[in-house]
Chain A
Amino acid sequence: MAPAPANTLGYKPPDGGWGWMVVIGAHISIGFAYSTPKVLSIFFKAIQEDLGASYSEIAWISSIMLAAMYAGGPVSSVLVDRFGSRPIVMLGGLMCGVSMVIASFGTSIAYIYFFIGIIGGSGLCLNLNASLTIISKYFLVRRPLANGLAMAGSPVFLCVVAPLNQYLLDRFGWRGSLVILGALMLNCCVAGALMRPVALPPQHRRNSHSSLKTVEEQRSGSNTEPEGSCMKKAKKFINLSLFKNRGFVFYLIGNMLYIFGAYAPIVFLPVYAVSQGLDDYSAAYLLSIMGFVDMFVRPCTGLLANSKWIRPRIQYFFSFAMVFNGVCHLLCPLLNTHASLVAYAVFFGVGFGMVFALMFECLMDLMGSQCFPSAVGLVTIIECFPMLLGPPTAGFLVDLSEDYKYLFLLMCGSVIVAAGLFLFVANLYNYHMLDKEKAQKDQEQQKLRTSENQEQKKLRSSENQEQQKLRTSENQEQQVSTAEGEQEEHAAESVTVRTGTKDENEAQA
């Protein structure tokens, strides 16, 4: 049994039961969110020919969609906090579906930018944020496993939707395919329906504030600021007080470095493989291998992270995963045979899957479930920049040097390894400081307690003395009163005796 992480929810989450249905819903929702911008590229050539646009104009569709998905994070956090996950996921699914259908009637590229890029992207953003939030509400003990299973939706949907899209394109053309894809995205509404709000027992709701403040952080992985402030500030779009949290800032820096280097190898792997002598078909197959491996690695990582050895050290496991991923890229320039590139794709899939399975779990672990929605919104909007800059920078480097190997793989590999090492060191420092602070707090609390005890003793002893005084004075009064009462009785008795004898005397005479 893993040592339970700090429960800052104020109630005991189900950790199972209906929670598994929620995981299925989150799986579908996250799957659509991550895979849609990638699989739309299958339609690009057909759209390009029909609308007469250039290749770079078409490629903007994916970029706009990704940008909208990440930048809408804070808005999504506020909405989820206000309305709960279920209506937001259903709204997101509806937005995506409707936007795709409308976009299928498009006659100009700007029309498609707006409907698929902006509205579709916003819909996906609502989906993503809400799904992650509800997992943190339903799971605590088994949360890494739940996160791993939910994040596995991304490679699963990529592997399923990509060939489906190709088939739809051949059968119905790009317009018909967008209509059908829109209908498929309405399944996010089904996912939303599954996300039943957690039934809180009423007394927990009332006591949530006080319990949050009195719960002690048993593991040093939790943040130190009182969680009540997150709940109050959740109404704001950007909660800047989160930046005061050391762990959060470290996580953000590490993640930004990782995201900058993470996506470029995926974009350039087929081209690099072709330059090493593989044919087009095998080169494209490499990406499918990576996706396939990713599908299984994510839940396995979640299971592994749930074990009792790793859960307390999950931040270190996260940095290990990043370093593994980076080393994989660093070794790639040495590989140029078909078999070795396949092995690279497999290890890349493993590393990539591990990092993404742990990414949001580590954030939940750092921030706790109350701060998580606003934290994830902030993280996604900041991650927007490295994500959009990464592949074009790699492309620019490739154009400069005209060689894929040494520049972009070194750039991506070294940046990711640096991110992993940074996180490792930063977490060491963070935990060290947290332990120190906790020790200080404990000391202060002990002092408080001892001084309280002393005061209480004093109070009690003075109370006792007063009580004794009261008792003795009462006793004295009683004695006095009883003595007087006796005298009266005596007097009354003698009167009656006298009268009695008087009567007797009268009777005799």
Chain B
Amino acid sequence: MSASWGKLFFQLVLLLASCGHINTKTPSPTSPSLDPISPLPSDIRRVVLKGESHTEKVELLNPVDLALECIWSGNENKSPNITGYWRKDGEEMQSIRVTVQLENDKYTLRQVFKIVSKENLGSYSCSFGDEAKVDFLLAGPQIGEVRDKPIVSYVGDSVVVKCKMDEKKPKPVSWNWYRANGTDKEQIFYAAEPQKYEIKNHEWATKLVVHKLTEGDSGFYYCEGVYAVSTTMGHVELKVITFLEPLKPFIAIIVEVIVLVAAILIYEKSQSKKNSAGGNETNADQTNTPTPGDNNGPEESSSTRQRKA
């Protein structure tokens, strides 16, 4: 009887051990999720090169597997093999240098790039030997309306600086505002100074309201629209002037008006003084003398009037 208890006990222990083992095989939830479970969407950009070089702009917002394809019809020598290589931002990507075969009278170079973050953007070039090149500029969408003239506002006033994205293109996830400080040094705003700055974001546009302007607020302001992989930058210039600036032409014009009015009235007074000095006869003459030639006209007309009657 103890042998059967022993067997049962041994089987129980085995059962428990195997259960424990099953438990440890379950993957823990804390493992990193860097490995994409679902594949990235793919996109292809194909350029058939006519001539020696070409530049293609590619707008990207979201992570994508981007296939870039360059097709070249070759030059006079149509050699059967040619070296094809890729460059990113000017630096050659050594690992993907290939030898391209001439097929159907064309050379084809194709490469898939994973675009997942901002660093993956930039300028990608495919080159056929040293003879032909296609540049692909990968970037975010351009800001729709870029204001080329500066916004002018006054000290103590508040101003609205606006950046607007073309509504046909997708809207940014968020907006940021920067201010140029010295040369290329940029500072980010938050609601750090709520009395001074106010950021109002709509879907395709963003507005920066600056209160209590001072002359130091003049300069360039940059709005940045943030997408999943890319950002896009627009700039607006703000000029703050004091009210003295328009006041100078204003006073100049007022002085001119007063001088002219005074001159005209004084001239008139002097004319009438001359006439009154000449006596009443010249007064009556004055109405007739300006038009000596026309004196005969109305007289003729009065005579014709009588004739007609």
Contacts and interface: CB of A to CB of B under 8 A. Distances in A.
Given A4-B298, A12-B298, A201-B284, A179 B261 contact: no
Interface residues of A, number: 43
B159 A50 contact: yes
Interface in B243-276: 243, 245-247, 249-250, 253-254, 257, 260-261, 264-265, 268
B305 A17 contact: no
Contact of B291 (A17, A186, A218): A17
Given A14-B290, A49-B162, A186-B257, A218 B250 contact: no
B305 A216 contact: yes
A101 B151 CA distance: 21
B152 interface: yes
Contact of B301 (A3, A170, A186, A199): A3
A330 B249 CA distance: 46
Contacts of B160: 49-50, 52
A182 B246 CA distance: 11
Give the secondary structure class of A's interface.
Answer: helix
Given A172-B152, A173-B154, A4 B301 contact: yes
A138 to B, nearest CB: 10
B152 A1 contact: no
Contacts of A193: 260-261, 264-265
B300 interface: yes
A15 B246 contact: no
A134 to B, nearest CB: 15
A506 B283 CA distance: 87
B254 A183 contact: yes
A199 B285 CA distance: 11
B304 interface: yes
Contacts of A175: 154, 157, 246
Contacts of A19: 290
A18 interface: yes
B257 A190 contact: yes
Nearest to A14: B290
Given A1-B297, A183-B254, A199 B287 contact: yes
Given A176-B246, A199-B283, 20 more contacts: A3-B304, A7-B298, A7-B301, A12-B287, A15-B291, A50-B159, A52-B160, A169-B152, A170-B152, A172-B245, A172-B246, A173-B153, A173-B154, A173-B241, A175-B157, A176-B241, A179-B247, A199-B287, A216-B305, A218-B301
Interface of A: 1, 3-4, 7, 11-12, 14-19, 49-50, 52, 101, 141, 169-173, 175-177, 179-180, 182-184, 186-187, 189-190, 193-194, 196, 199-201, 216, 218, 442
Interface of B: 149-154, 157, 159-160, 162, 241, 243, 245-247, 249-250, 253-254, 257, 260-261, 264-265, 268, 283-284, 286-288, 290-291, 294, 297-298, 300-301, 304-305, 308-309
